[in-house]
């Protein structure tokens, strides 16, 4: 039994004394103890070495005591497993030397054996579970098929993913084939993660907001829905689409246990669009963590008051930034732990 099950209770919609709190990207770059590991090992070595990944996962828990841990990994381990080369280039970020833009390249993309290609992730989960010692739940995650396609076709990060969108609109058949391969791999991967011990999973649709509402349904949501359908009976699923407020009504009917909301959608609108019956997660602007700690605490309290303490998980509206002062991140967590409803 997990001692602090606040996060899992919020996912079930149970009434709680205060909402649970964790932060997207909490295991990582803003922590000095993470920087020490980063100085010694390159990015994918950190992802692929279970001892390192599990250590990085628990670092923020030791420091701040969040109500859930999220496994340190990356969404791009999936294309790597699918026979697509992915590097992490200094000053560039993700770099895919051979982007998928034709039938020839797509034919080389495989739906892999998860144990053979991503077994290291399952080892990291088991080691992390040992370190957490049933204190708090562990979250596993994957990128949405659309978000993964964006990198596979563009070849790197982008402000508008124009090449990825052009690929979808000029070669829709290939695009859907690639999306389906990513979806099939993601389902297998997340199922293995649940087997290995994660207590919930989150799907990150980081680039969903790049699409119009019509294209979103066609190229992103229908694949996320397949993943939710495949997993919802074995684990709680959180769906998070950045910039996708327009799809919240559809998402609310998906069978997901919770929906992530970014800071461009107010708590009132998010509750209204989702019908008020589903757990919501978010939506503090990560850049707001530069505000003075006293102000952060005030804003967090206001945010909880607006969402309501039940069916709510406190989080940022996207990942924590690398240069956030430690004290400010602490103030964010403390504000939730100190919360008392009026």
CATH number of the domain to which 160 belongs: 3.20.20.210
CA distance 246 to 161: 20
The enclosing H or E element of 239 equals strand 237-241
Q: How many domains does the chain have?
A: 1
CB 157 within 8 A of CB 148: no
CA distance 60 to 63: 5
Q: How far is CA 79 from CA 6, 104, 117, 216, 284, in A?
A: 34, 16, 11, 21, 30
For the segment 176-225, what is each residue's pLDDT rounded down to a tens digit? Answer: 999 999 999 999 999 999 999 999 999 999 999 999 999 999 999 999 99
CB 22 within 8 A of CB 139: yes
For the segment 6-62, what is each residue's pLDDT rounded down to a tens digit? Answer: 999 999 999 999 999 999 999 999 999 999 999 999 999 999 999 999 999 999 999
Binding-site residues for substrate: 25-29, 44, 74, 151, 206, 318
CB 149 within 8 A of CB 177: no
Alpha-carbon torsion 255, 15, 19, 311, what sign?
positive
CA distance 55 to 174: 40
Q: Which two tokens stand for residue 205?
A: 């649709």
For the segment 107-117, what is each residue's pLDDT rounded down to a tens digit? Answer: 999 999 999 99
Q: Domain for residue 226, yes or no?
A: yes
3-state secondary structure of 41: coil
Instruction: Read off the pLDDT of each residue in 253-259 and give the average, rounded to a whole number.
Output: 98
CB 86 within 8 A of CB 94: yes
3-state secondary structure of 253: coil
The enclosing H or E element of 185 equals helix 172-196
Which residues in 162-187 are b (16+ Cβ under 10 Å) and which e? ebbbebbeebeebbbebbebbbbbbb
Q: Domain for residue 1, yes or no?
A: no
Q: Domain for residue 167, yes or no?
A: yes
pLDDT at 17: 95
pLDDT at 291: 98
Q: Domain for residue 284, yes or no?
A: yes
Q: Domain for residue 278, yes or no?
A: yes
Q: Is the pTM of this model over 0.95?
A: yes
CA distance 168 to 96: 18
Give the structural domain span for 203: 6-337
Q: Domain for residue 303, yes or no?
A: yes
Q: Could you tell me which residues come within 8 angstroms of residue 217 by beta carbon, excluding any fewer than 6 positions away? A: 247, 250
Answer yes or no: is pLDDT of 121 > 70.
yes
Q: Domain for residue 290, yes or no?
A: yes
Q: Domain for residue 321, yes or no?
A: yes
CA distance 264 to 310: 21
Binding-site residues: 25-29, 44, 74, 151, 206, 318
Model confidence at 341, in pLDDT bands (50, 70, 90)?
confident
């Amino acid at each position: 039994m997990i001692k602090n099950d606040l996060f899992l209770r919020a996912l079930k919609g149970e009434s709680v004394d205060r909402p649970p709190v964790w932060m997207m990207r909490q295991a990582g770059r803003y922590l000095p103890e993470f920087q020490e590991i980063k100085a010694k090992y390159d990015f994918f070595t950190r992802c692929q070495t279970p001892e390192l990944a599990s250590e990085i996962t628990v670092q923020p828990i030791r420091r701040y005591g969040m109500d859930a841990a999220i496994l340190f990994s990356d969404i791009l381990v999936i294309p790597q497993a699918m026979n697509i080369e992915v590097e992490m280039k200094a000053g560039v970020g993700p770099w895919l030397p051979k982007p998928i833009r034709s039938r020839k390249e797509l034919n080389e993309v495989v739906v892999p054996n998860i144990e053979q290609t991503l077994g290291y992730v399952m080892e990291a989960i088991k080691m992390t579970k040992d370190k957490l010692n049933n204190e708090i739940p562990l979250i596993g995650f994957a990128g949405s098929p659309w978000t993964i396609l964006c990198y596979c076709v563009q070849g790197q990060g982008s402000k508008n993913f124009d090449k990825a969108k052009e690929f979808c609109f000029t070669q829709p058949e290939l695009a859907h084939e690639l999306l389906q391969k990513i979806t099939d791999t993601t389902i297998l991967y997340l199922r293995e993660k649940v087997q290995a011990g994660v207590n919930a999973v989150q799907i990150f649709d980081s680039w969903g907001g790049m699409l119009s509402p019509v294209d979103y349904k066609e190229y992103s949501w229908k694949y996320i829905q397949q993943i939710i359908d495949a997993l919802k009976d074995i684990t709680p699923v959180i769906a998070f689409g950045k910039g996708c407020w327009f799809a919240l009504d559809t998402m609310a009917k998906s069978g997901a246990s919770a929906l992530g909301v970014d800071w461009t959608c107010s708590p009132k609108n998010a509750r209204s669009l989702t019908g008020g019956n589903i757990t919501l997660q978010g939506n503090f602007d990560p850049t707001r963590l530069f505000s003075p700690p006293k102000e952060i605490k005030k804003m967090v309290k206001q945010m909880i008051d607006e969402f309501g303490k039940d069916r709510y998980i406190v989080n940022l509206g996207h990942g924590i930034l690398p240069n956030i002062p430690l004290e400010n991140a602490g103030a964010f967590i403390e504000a939730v732990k100190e919360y008392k409803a009026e």
